[in-house]
């Protein structure tokens, strides 16, 4: 019996590529960046639109994503086994556009051995790059109650973070550390007293631990700052977020750099010019959400690098 390959449906595919390449002409040249290759939906569509002189550089930490990227034989394409904070390694003002899709791909979620989902029993891992760093199980085996509660509260916006953290440590002391996703999901279900209709009690905890173990918000901040350096004037920044913590960072970053900055210590000095111009905020259509329910929380923000 052969297994069916896990499929991934790219969210806001046409909208993201249209926003990224907007104004670049019918056969864009230059260097373009896909900061989160995933399973390559955006990258493949960008390559279809680029001209012969166009180039696409992609980044991803996931070895399975890197393996998928090797199937692209287009000479205009290259992939780097690095997180998108390494945008900073590209030459200044070298990119015509930068795309970041912050979602976890469906094959990652649906692979029990990756440990991202409470719907499948598997090792409690959750690392995007399984060649580096410690797993969630490793961290929970030694973290203190206060540390665990802080992570679940801050990254999961979970109001029962304290009881969950205490339950994790009590279980560790009584029967040894948690090792599987099912063990964690069952423990959280016992500690969470109420939950929104239709939401699994473990949803927020799993989100929090995944964000923390992969330093996702810190890397997003670094990647956004790097985009200011690598984008050429007129280059587009397109970011697709899937939860409020990410979107808040993106929204505040664009807002911060979309206004002139005055130095209060030198009121008559020329202000620092704005670095970005906010262009759009787009959500998936009703039809896309019906076809792909995982798109329902997506928000895409688009900005353009101003003249420097």
Q: What is the CA radius of gyration of the chain?
A: 21
| 268 — pLDDT class (breaks 50, 70, 90) | low
Every domain of the chain and the residues it spans: 13-106+216-305, 130-213
Asked if 76 and 47 count as a contact pair (C-beta separation under 8 A), the reply is yes
Is the pLDDT at 136 greater than 60? The verdict is yes
- Residue of 23, 42, 18 lying closest to 102 (CA atoms): 42
User: pLDDT at position 261, please?
Assistant: 62
Asked whether the predicted pLDDT for residue 5 surpasses 60, the reply is: no
Mean pLDDT in residue range 269-283: 85
Report, at the CATH architecture level, how domain 13-106+216-305 is classified: 3-Layer(aba) Sandwich (3.40)
Mean of pLDDT values over 233-252 = 96
pLDDT above 70 (res 233): yes
- Spatial neighbors of 182 by CB under 8 A, at least 6 apart, are 118, 121
Both structure tokens of 179:
């090792």
Whether the per-residue pLDDT at 187 is higher than 50: the answer is yes
Instruction: State how far the Cα of 250 lies from the Cα of 268, in Å rounded to an integer.
Output: 31
CA-CA distance, 98 to 16, in Å (whole number)? 11
Answer yes or no: is pLDDT of 269 > 80.
Answer: no
Identify which of 9, 20, 7 has the alpha carbon closest to the alpha carbon of residue 300. 20
Residue-wise pLDDT for 147-166, tens only, equals: 999 999 999 999 999 999 99
Q: Is the pLDDT assigned to residue 87 strictly greater than 60?
A: yes
Q: Are 238 and 99 in contact (CB under 8 A)?
A: yes
Coil, strand or helix: which one is 115? Answer: coil
> What is the number of residues in the chain?
308
Higher pLDDT residue, 197 or 120?
Answer: 120
Our CA dihedral for 201, 204, 207, 209, rounded to 10 degrees, sits at: -90
Split at pLDDT 50, 70, 90, the class of 273 is: confident
Please give the class, per CATH, of domain 130-213.
mainly alpha
pLDDT of residue 32: 98
The whole-angstrom separation of Cα 54 and Cα 21 is 11
What does the alpha-carbon distance between residue 35 and residue 87 come to, in Å, rounded to a whole number? Answer: 8
| Average pLDDT taken over every residue of the chain | 91
Token representation of residue 136: 């969630």
Residue 51: predicted pLDDT: 96
């Amino acid at each position: 019996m052969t297994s069916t390959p896990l499929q991934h449906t790219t969210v806001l595919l046409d909208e993201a590529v249209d926003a990224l390449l907007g104004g670049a002409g019918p056969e864009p040249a230059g260097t373009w960046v896909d900061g989160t290759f995933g399973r390559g939906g955006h990258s493949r569509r960008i390559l279809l639109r680029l001209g012969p002189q166009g180039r696409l550089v992609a980044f991803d930490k996931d070895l399975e994503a890197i393996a998928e990227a090797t199937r692209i034989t287009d000479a205009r394409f290259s992939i780097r086994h690095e997180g998108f904070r390494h945008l900073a390694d590209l030459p200044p003002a070298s990119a015509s556009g930068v795309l970041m899709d912050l979602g976890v791909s469906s094959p990652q979620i649906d692979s029990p051995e990756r440990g991202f989902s409470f719907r499948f029993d598997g090792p409690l891992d959750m690392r995007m790059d399984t060649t580096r760093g410690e797993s969630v199980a490793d961290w929970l085996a030694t973290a203190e109650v206060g540390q665990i509660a802080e992570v679940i509260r801050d990254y999961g916006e979970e109001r029962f973070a304290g009881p969950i953290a205490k339950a994790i440590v009590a279980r560790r002391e009584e029967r040894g550390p948690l090792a599987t996703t099912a063990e964690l999901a069952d423990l959280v279900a016992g500690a969470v007293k109420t939950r929104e209709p239709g939401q699994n009690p473990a949803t927020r905890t799993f989100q929090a631990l995944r964000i923390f173990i992969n330093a996702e918000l810190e890397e997003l901040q670094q990647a956004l700052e790097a985009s200011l350096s690598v984008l050429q004037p007129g280059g587009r920044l397109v970011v697709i977020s899937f939860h409020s913590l990410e979107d808040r960072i993106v929204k505040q970053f664009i807002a911060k750099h979309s206004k002139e900055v005055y130095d209060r210590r030198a009121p008559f000095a020329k202000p620092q010019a704005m670095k970005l111009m906010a262009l759009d905020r787009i959500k998936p259509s009703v039809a896309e959400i019906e076809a792909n329910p995982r798109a329902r929380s997506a928000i895409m923000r688009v900005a353009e690098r101003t003249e420097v």
